[in-house]
Amino acid sequence: MKTTRRIVAAMLSVLMLGAAFTGCGNEPAAPTTNDPSSAPVENNPTPDDGDKETDDGKLKVGFAQIGQESGWRDAETASIQFYAGQNVDTIDFKFADAQAKQENQIKAIKSFIDMDVDVIGLAPVVETGWDAVFTEAKDAGIPIVLVDRMADVPEDLYATFIGSDFIEEGKNAADEMAKLLGGKGKVVQLEGTVGASAANDRKKGFEDQMAAQYPDIEIIASQTGDFTRAKGKEVMESFLKTYGADIKGVYGHNDDMVLGAIEAIKEAGLKPGTDVVTVSCDGVKGIFEAMVAGEANVTVECNPLLGPIFFETCQKLKDGESVEKWVKSEEGIYRQDTAAEDIKTRVY
């Protein structure tokens, strides 16, 4: 895992150097700084060049991204766009930003089908509602690769899923929360986007593990924060008004929501990381900074640097090679006591 991060960091450094020689009339195909939020993202929910192209031997890939909901999502976009930008001689890449709307992702997929791409990549904004458009892709002979989020469709409608075990992340989060609370206390939960597989599974893993292993920990409230920092703060403010100092811990389905919750906790006159402990998922740099400051406690990593494995998998599919139905990403658990050292290796 550390080797992967070193490679990505080196790639980002190379791109920064290359950007210095880019003419002002040319847009870079990938981020030009180590900040994932600088990744270029197209504003159009569907690609603007829908005409089928002649076969030039390149790997033709269309990717329908959710949008820019969090630092984690920006890092994933940066990783995918960076890899494509570094391999323009062999990859013809089409990117669509769906602006968090399923209908925009469906339009993008239909556009990719019209382009006759080799593979379609998708991070589904929600789990359901994909059968019809996935069937269109299958009938056109175009495999679909699900990235970081699952879709609730028959297995024959997609080629593979690349990403994490969200249920396991939820279980790990429950174990970490129990350690922080000494096995008892009241906690609140900040859920992700309603209907998203990451939210559904992180909730299930956390709640099932708590019920099975930690009966003295009570989840007193649970509400969606939509995976955003602003909404996470808003929901946490509401929780604090209702339950006040009874809240001993907050579990967030991603780091951004917990970073928002930390702001709300401080504004309520409580000390985050001490009066209210935190556990969240993803592992973005912001949560490491909060852990170094003593304001956050644990993050369960969900690796967004999926660009290389995504395109490698797409190439295998184009070449007719078999791929595993689930390609799992490498991840870890990071805690406050090692955050000052861990943050030195973070690239997102």
Going through 107-216 in order, the beta strands assigned E by DSSP cover 119-122, 144-147, 160-163, 185-191
Whether residues 27 and 81 fall in one domain? yes
Whether residues 112 and 17 fall in one domain? yes
Whether residues 114 and 196 fall in one domain? no
What was the pLDDT predicted at 70?
82
pLDDT category at 54 given cuts 50, 70, 90 is low
Whether residues 138 and 185 fall in one domain? no
Does residue 13 sit in helix, strand or coil?
Answer: helix
- 211-216-217-222 Cα dihedral, nearest 10 degrees: 60
Whether residues 147 and 219 fall in one domain? no
Q: Do strands 59-65 and 91-97 pair parallel, antiparallel, or not at all (unpaired)?
A: parallel
Whether residues 145 and 171 fall in one domain? no
* CA-atom Rg of the chain in angstroms: 21
C-beta of residue 205 within 8 angstroms of C-beta of residue 168 = yes
Give domain status of residue 345, yes or no: no
What was the pLDDT predicted at 47?
58
Give domain status of residue 187, yes or no: yes
Cα separation, 207 vs 11, in Å, equals 39
C-beta of residue 66 within 8 angstroms of C-beta of residue 117 = no
Give domain status of residue 52, yes or no: yes
Backbone phi, psi, residue 103, to 5°: -60, -30
Whether residues 54 and 138 fall in one domain? yes
Q: Could you identify the residue written with the tokens 């994933």?
A: 76
What was the pLDDT predicted at 200?
96
pLDDT tens-place string over residues 82-119: 999 999 999 999 999 999 999 999 999 999 999 999 99
Structure-token pair, residue 270: 């409580």
Whether residues 46 and 79 fall in one domain? yes
Which of 208-212, 285-289, 342-346 is predicted least confidently?
Answer: 342-346
Contacting residues for 213 by C-beta, under 8 A, at least 6 apart:
174, 175, 178
What was the pLDDT predicted at 1?
41
Model confidence at 11: pLDDT above 80: no
Whether residues 55 and 143 fall in one domain? yes
In which domain, by residue range, is 316 found?
2-163+305-330
What was the pLDDT predicted at 56?
82
- 57-124-322-90 Cα dihedral, nearest 10 degrees: 20
* Mean pLDDT confidence for 211-223: 98
Whether residues 122 and 16 fall in one domain? yes
Model confidence at 45: pLDDT above 60: no
Provide, rounded to the nearest whole percent, the portion of the chain with pLDDT above 90: 80
Give domain status of residue 142, yes or no: yes
Whether residues 229 and 310 fall in one domain? no
Contacting residues for 267 by C-beta, under 8 A, at least 6 apart:
237
Model confidence at 328: pLDDT above 80: yes
Domain count, the chain: 2
Model confidence at 150: pLDDT above 80: yes
CATH number at residue 61: 3.40.50.2300
What was the pLDDT predicted at 12?
40
Cα separation, 189 vs 174, in Å, equals 11
DSSP assignment string, 177-204: HHHHHTT-EEEEEEE-STT-HHHHHHHH
Structure-token pair, residue 271: 């000390």
Q: Which residue has the higher pLDDT, 163 or 14?
A: 163
* Mean pLDDT confidence for 234-262: 98
* Mean pLDDT confidence for 320-324: 96
